[in-house]
Structure 1
């Protein structure tokens, strides 16, 4: 299984490194096409994305084809709703920090931002 590292980008553009997965992605990045890895196509359904229709899932690092590489998964709105929304619900139900102050949790904030984009 490929190891991934996630970068969380806030609405203000600040980037933080997160050790835990934020949103579910296909389990094997090596099985994805070049356009899916580069973010031109949806990471789940492979539909070609336009500038206004793409949901950014954050820059990732993964072991791809024998080397550590950066990749840029993006999603279409329907797939983001299908895959990210359950991750957001699961996170907010199990995160003590989100219960106390949702704005203090970088993971919860990132998931909420992705869901806002998906619902537009």
Structure 2
């Protein structure tokens, strides 16, 4: 697994989504750390992560709350929100928070890869491969 700027943390309570995103990003040359809850990510730490992708609809700490917690510790960390909900308010709230990207499930893998690659390059990371 690669370390540093090209390491992506993925948080989702759906193991199928975690596996799918891990496969997608590893196939593009990124390292991936999977977490089934916001608490598990917070407990593990963010020091070596270059980007965060998190589901919005999770129990306990949702994706918006996780975004806020992460930004207190790592204000420059790119954060992407994903969701299976189709509420206009979610996208507006994400935009108001300045998230790096907002994707509704099912999302287009190449589009997500491109967005994450762009965010990593903009924040000093190298593109995978």
Answer yes or no: same fold by TM over 0.5: no
Q: So what's the TM-score if we normalise by structure 2? A: 0.25
Kindly indicate which of the two structures has a greater share of residues assigned to helix.
2
Max Rg structure: 1
Q: So what's the TM-score if we normalise by structure 1? A: 0.26
